[in-house]
Amino acid sequence: MSLGVNPSPFAGRTAVVTGAAGGIGAATARMLAARGTAVVIGDVDPRAADVVAQVEADGGRALSVRADVTDEESVAALMDVAAEFGADVGVAAGESGSVDVLVANAGIAERKGPLHELDLDHWRTVLDIDLTGVALSMKHGLRHMDAQGSGAVVAVSSILGLVGQAGSAPYSAAKAGVANLVRSAGLGYAQSGIRVNAVAPGYVETPLTAGLDESVRAQMTDRQPIGRLGTPKEVAEVICFLASDAASFVTGAVWSVDGGYVAQ
């Protein structure tokens, strides 16, 4: 389904979305592009090129850059390429580009199990991608935003960053870290023209959840007071709001997008 191009306050701005080869990231990249943003996707998954093709088919502007969020040089280069891309497509000739929006979305799931059986290598991998990767993305996105005196960051946490779940030590720890990282950065940049927020999605329909056993999907659905799983588009809508000028008085906040899960 084509999202179309809808000129908005995003027009002329450049956004970086990490981990946007599928799921929430892809929906966010397409939605930002449909609303006028030049989007740069940073991902190690080659399917990111398919998302770029979808954006371009809808009349938007996008670029895919292979970027590993655990590698600082890779992340720094991603942000620099994004600024150049913004200069090419949205800024008058001779002016420097900008990174106006950062959606720090890249992350992986975990192997669940009791903490006394924790695999340290797996712990480090999850923390490196789901927390350190967000911090590095924010560091180098904020480097550009601080220089220009404006910008909006939206990180992707999780309901498991707000409430506990048995057998979910690495992922819960990482996502809780993202939530407090956002609160800290939101305060740190509150007077710099930069807003930093997060979304905390609940159980969402993605290729990962689509492949689960029906009994597992039923359990996930039963945990959601709204009675169904969310969609990537529903999460993307909140991300785009937080990245927009409509959320100009919102910073340091973690928004649950979870069908009422954490309100129970």
Please check whether residue 149 is in contact with residue 164, taking contact to mean a CB–CB distance below 8 angstroms: no
Assign domain 14-258 to its CATH architecture.
3-Layer(aba) Sandwich (3.40)
| Residue 212 clears pLDDT 80, i.e. is over it | no
* pLDDT tens, position by position, 107-130: 998 899 999 999 999 999 999 999
For 87-95, what is the mean pLDDT? 50
pLDDT for position 89: 58
Tell me the catalytic residues.
171
Cα three-residue angle 228-209-156, rounded to 5 degrees: 85
Residue 162's nearest CA partner among 177, 142, 141 is: 177
Token pair of 153 as six digits: 């960051």
For 186-193, what is the mean pLDDT? 97
- The DSSP symbol for 226 reads T
pLDDT for position 86: 76
| List of residues 6+ apart from 102 with CB closer than 8 A | 15, 16, 137, 138, 141, 142, 145, 151, 152, 153, 154
* pLDDT tens, position by position, 137-147: 999 999 999 99
pLDDT for position 24: 97
| Residue 59 clears pLDDT 50, i.e. is over it | yes
pLDDT for position 87: 72
Neighbours of 226 (CB within 10 A): 12
Binned at pLDDT 50, 70 and 90, residue 91 comes out as very low
Q: What is Dmax (Cα atoms) for the chain?
A: 59
Domain range list for the chain: 14-258
| Residue 247 clears pLDDT 50, i.e. is over it | yes
For the chain, the distance separating the N- and C-terminal CA atoms, rounded to the nearest angstrom, is 35
Report pTM.
0.92
The Cα 127–Cα 255 span in angstroms is 21
Please check whether residue 261 is in contact with residue 223, taking contact to mean a CB–CB distance below 8 angstroms: yes
* pLDDT tens, position by position, 1-17: 455 444 566 888 999 99
Binned at pLDDT 50, 70 and 90, residue 217 comes out as confident
For 191-220, what is the mean pLDDT? 87
